[in-house]
Amino acid sequence: MSEGHGEHDEWFFKYPSIYRFLRTIVNLGRFTQPVKEYLRATPEESVIDVGCGVGDFSTVVPGSYEGYDLNERFIQYAQKKFGNGNKSFHFKDVLALPETQLYDKGVVVNIMHHFTDEELKILLARLRKLVTNYFVIVDADWNSSNRFQRWLLNKDQGSHFRDRKDLQALLSQYFDLEDFSVFETRSKSVSLFRCIAKPKHEN
Ligand SMILES: C[S@@+](CC[C@H](N)C(=O)[O-])C[C@H]1O[C@@H](n2cnc3c(N)ncnc32)[C@H](O)[C@@H]1O
């Protein structure tokens, strides 16, 4: 596993609108399109967003949506901005999600580097039971990141950036991975990977 450097608690994580604004400037956009292309959610499908942050990916879901995050200010902001009868946001540790199949699809964007290997295994074991169809997983791709991109990643709160091979090996214990590809934000500030992860059923 390639570790990033220490956990950070930068001031902007306390101000959701400033955090969202800065992130949009740095990335020159919100990279919702690469998630939308893989998710292909229909109005009839329900979607869970694991570590939903300020709720940007709720905008690519036409049907029912639930977002979960441990940053209470982010959740309050998202509920106010995007919440409606069909979309809700919840202040909850995703390591304590139920183990029942409740959703058709899910998104997991940029949160895996917040967890140690042990925590990630607990999370993945729960997630594979939560959806009937698949997750779209997106995270920073440490391998294809240049020095500037790694410097920016180190401003993030998570500190467990992984070698791509190690991450794929971990994910593959719980999911069949399809359509693995690497892309960059419009500003080339971050190099990310995306994939479709179909739950492997326990024997
Ligand atoms: C880099 S942000 C990504 C947010 C969102 N997925 C996005 O891409 O806009 C990582 C998020 O994971 C959340 N997070 C980290 N550990 C968590 C946990 N144990 N339970 C719920 N959320 C967590 C953080 O609060 C943060 O909002």
Residue 4 lies in a domain: no
Q: What would the DSSP string read from start to end of the chain?
A: ----S-----GGGG-HHHHHHHHHHHHTS---HHHHHHH---TT--EEEET-TT-GGGGG-SS-EEEEES-HHHHHHHHHHH-BTTEEEEE--GGG---S--EEEEEEES-GGGS-HHHHHHHHHHHHHHEEEEEEEEEE-TTT--HHHHHHHTTSS------HHHHHHHHHTTEEEEEEEEEE-TTS--EEEEEEEEEPPP-
Pocket test for ligand 1, best of 47, 60, 111 (most atoms within 8 A of CB): 111
Residue 1 lies in a domain: no
* 86: CATH: 3.40.50.150
Structural domain for 128, as ranges: 11-199
Residue 74 lies in a domain: yes
Residue 37 lies in a domain: yes
Strand order in the sheet with 131-140: 87-91, 65-69, 47-50, 103-109, 131-140, 191-199, 175-184
pTM, full prediction: 0.88
Residue by residue, pLDDT tens for the chain (203 residues) are 333 333 446 676 778 887 787 777 666 667 789 999 999 999 999 999 999 999 999 999 999 999 999 999 999 999 999 999 999 999 999 999 988 878 999 999 999 989 999 999 999 999 999 999 999 999 888 777 777 777 777 766 677 888 888 999 999 999 999 999 888 777 666 788 899 999 998 76
* Pairing, β 131-140 against β 191-199: antiparallel
In this predicted structure, what is the pLDDT of residue 6?
Answer: 36
Residue 139 lies in a domain: yes
Tell the residue nearest (CA) to atom 22 of ligand 1. 69
53 lines ligand 1 (CB under 6 A): yes
Q: Are the C-beta atoms of residues 68 and 92 closer than 8 Å to each other? A: yes
Residue 181 lies in a domain: yes
Residue 195 lies in a domain: yes
Pocket test for ligand 1, best of 68, 70, 77, 161 (most atoms within 8 A of CB): 70
Count of structural domains, the chain: 1
Residue type, 146: N
Token pair of 62 as six digits: 């036409």
In this predicted structure, what is the pLDDT of residue 184?
Answer: 78
Tell the residue nearest (CA) to atom 9 of ligand 1. 53
Residue 6 lies in a domain: no
